[in-house]
Amino acid sequence: MLSWMRRLAVRYDVPVRDLLRGAGTRRRISSSRTIATRLRNQPGLVARLGLTAEQTKPFIKVQPLTAATTNYSATFGHSLPSQPQFRYCPYCLAEADPWWPDHWHSPLSWICPTHHIYLLNACPACGQPPHGQFAWIGHVIELHRCPSRRPTTPRAGHQRSHEWCNADLTTAPTTTAAPAGVAGQQLLHDWANDPPTAPVTVAGLDVTHRIAFQALVELIDAGTPGVDLLDLADDPAEMGPALADAAHVLSAADLSSAADRATMLTYDGPHAPVRPTSRLTNHRYSPLLAAIQLAGIRDHLPTADQMMFRTVHHAPRYPATHLHDPQQIRQLRLPEHNPRLPEPTPAWIPQTIWPLCVPEPLLGCTNHALRDSLLAMALVKIGNHEQWMKICQHLRLPATHPNRIGTYLRYAQARGTWPAIHTALDSLITRLQHHPPPIDYQQRRMTGRNINLLTEAVQVGRRQHPTDTGLRTLTRQFWERFTAGDIAYGPEALRLDPDTPSYADYRRLNPLRHADLFHSAHQYLLAIHMAEGPLIWTPEQSR
């Protein structure tokens, strides 16, 4: 668009500002973006300039690299430069029919893909960035000349004067880029030009062009600490090594090879951190770089981190946080993570894990109440960044459980059963993502704290199905079925110490003999809108 307007001005020897005024625009024009907006939204203005709307589409549409850069900055929370600066290639401007391509305005354009030289960001004569000032709109000048005014130093008693530079930009000295840097720049253009959701294989993973583009930019940023990639004032020649290194990482055949090459990624850095966990909840990160980073260290991570990052999968991932809204989750998850599936939530998980979800021989703990509650905690931890204490609060478990879960996980590691347990838990979470429970266990646990309500429901069922079993025992059994918990961790008024004979006697009772009574009690809670879903539910077993 800028090239076309300047050509039009040279052809008629009329400044761009006057051309637009003559075509009918009256409001003040303050930037190149304003010109594009006017032409896009005012077909009559385009017609008076002698073109059809179809002819102007190539000039006013957003170019792919610009669109990809804008999407990157929005996704990762960066700010784009507001100044209308351009970089340029002297060789391109020296051609018979020169023009200023839109990608020269992108801060991610450092190397000319045609002439393989570093782009320049300043005039060799005046030192000003081309089109850094909007004064060119009132000046008729050939496209290969600097459209800026020369900077001057005001003297006492004299009016400030700014002469036009008019320097020949084709005479600026150039620096040839290394082939590896050229390849990196070309990769940026290729991934920006293709549709954002189109598939591409990078480091052995099937990703989208959008994810690949953003990972490449993040790697370049990691390789240039202290440099703002989105600042057009930075010297493009400084980006050559980082471009080459980033392309080298993403050209690896698999995740392990890419992890070996990605030496610019640090475990506590700003691009693909592993520690501290607080970083993961306050920023957005590339899912491809996360997979590369975690693939190289998955076997050395603590068990809690293995669950959080879901390292049993070929491509590990970061846990979902409040930053992952439904629109962005598709950009922050790899296609193989199936981003359309809901993210796991503690509301899916009962206080004690469902029976037979993990093969019994792997577990090796005789205290079933403790073991099943610890497994429920581990299940919540899959893909979850929260600390153990917070998970205990979700499940209404004792404050001693954060210490006990660590002991149990070390015990499983010592027995050599931890990898199989981890795989079984992650497989269960995946099944729950495909078929979420029809019960909100979080809500059930809250309702279960109301002992009077549960007792009232049991009494309703007892009137319909008389029994000689005590009311307190029936309420305990109903609480366990309603919340899918263990009475050892129930409300204080119902709780039984698992180390006492009373708990052992209670466990010998068969709650199935009161199934009709509990069904009636559940129907009562449904009728007064204190419960939703079936009374009990178990996930399908894996095949």
Task: Over range 96-115, report the average pLDDT.
Answer: 90
Q: In Å, what is the CA distance from 424 to each residue of 403, 409, 472?
A: 22, 14, 36
Pick from 43-52, 103-112, 511-520: least confident: 43-52
Predicted TM-score (pTM) of the model is 0.87
Task: Over range 474-498, report the average pLDDT.
Answer: 96
Pick from 357-361, 382-386, 517-521: least confident: 357-361
**Cα(298)–Cα(306) distance, integer angstroms:** 7
Q: For position 134, what pLDDT does the model report?
A: 76
Pick from 133-137, 244-248, 385-389: least confident: 133-137
Q: For position 426, what pLDDT does the model report?
A: 97
Task: Over range 123-152, report the average pLDDT.
Answer: 84
**Cα(288)–Cα(295) distance, integer angstroms:** 11
| Residue 144 φ/ψ region, left for φ over 0, alpha for ψ in the -120 to 50 degree band, beta for the rest | alpha
Which comes out higher in pLDDT, residue 153 or 224?
A: 224
For residue 283, pLDDT over 60 is answered with yes
Q: For position 118, what pLDDT does the model report?
A: 97
Bridge partner list, 200: 207
Task: Over range 233-252, report the average pLDDT.
Answer: 93
For residue 1, pLDDT over 60 is answered with yes
Asked, as a colleague might, if the bond just before 276 is cis with ω within 30 of 0, I would say yes
Bridge partner list, 168: 145
For residue 161, pLDDT over 60 is answered with no
Q: For position 155, what pLDDT does the model report?
A: 55
Which comes out higher in pLDDT, residue 275 or 124?
A: 124
For residue 323, pLDDT over 90 is answered with no
Model confidence at 199, pLDDT cuts 50, 70, 90, reads: very high
Question: Counting Cβ atoms within 10 Å, is residue 284 exposed (0-12), middle (13-18) or buried (19+)?
Answer: middle
Token couple for 496: 């039984």
**Cα(9)–Cα(14) distance, integer angstroms:** 5
Which comes out higher in pLDDT, residue 382 or 62?
A: 382
**Cα(459)–Cα(122) distance, integer angstroms:** 85
For residue 347, pLDDT over 80 is answered with yes
Q: For position 261, what pLDDT does the model report?
A: 95
Question: Counting Cβ atoms within 10 Å, is residue 340 exposed (0-12), middle (13-18) or buried (19+)?
Answer: exposed
Average pLDDT over the chain, rounded to an integer = 89
For residue 13, pLDDT over 90 is answered with no
Which comes out higher in pLDDT, residue 101 or 399?
A: 399
If you count DSSP H runs as helices and E runs as strands, how many of each does the chain have, helices first?
25, 2
Q: For position 181, what pLDDT does the model report?
A: 95
Model confidence at 382, pLDDT cuts 50, 70, 90, reads: very high
Token couple for 225: 């600490």
Pick from 72-86, 154-168, 519-533: least confident: 154-168
Q: For position 136, what pLDDT does the model report?
A: 78
Show me where the domains of the chain are located: 2-61, 179-337, 346-436, 443-527
Q: How far is CA 539 from the centre of its chain?
A: 29
Contact partners, residue 70, CB within 8 Å, separation at least 6: 62, 80
Which comes out higher in pLDDT, residue 300 or 83?
A: 300
Q: For position 19, what pLDDT does the model report?
A: 80
Model confidence at 245, pLDDT cuts 50, 70, 90, reads: very high
Contact 250, 258 (CB under 8 A): yes
Report the Cα–Cα distance between both ends of the chain, in Å, rounded: 60
Task: Over range 527-538, report the average pLDDT.
Answer: 94
Interval 211-225: pLDDT, tens: 999 999 999 999 999
Interval 176-194: pLDDT, tens: 999 999 999 999 999 999 9
Contact 49, 19 (CB under 8 A): yes
From the list 332, 338, 316, the residue with the least C-alpha distance to 434 is 338
Q: For position 158, what pLDDT does the model report?
A: 54
Please state the φ and ψ torsions of residue 118, each to the nearest 5 degrees.
-70, 135
Which comes out higher in pLDDT, residue 267 or 46?
A: 267
Q: For position 149, what pLDDT does the model report?
A: 84
Model confidence at 133, pLDDT cuts 50, 70, 90, reads: confident
Q: For position 15, what pLDDT does the model report?
A: 84
Q: For position 18, what pLDDT does the model report?
A: 82
Beta strands in 75-183 (DSSP E): none
Question: Counting Cβ atoms within 10 Å, is residue 164 exposed (0-12), middle (13-18) or buried (19+)?
Answer: middle
| Residue 388 φ/ψ region, left for φ over 0, alpha for ψ in the -120 to 50 degree band, beta for the rest | alpha
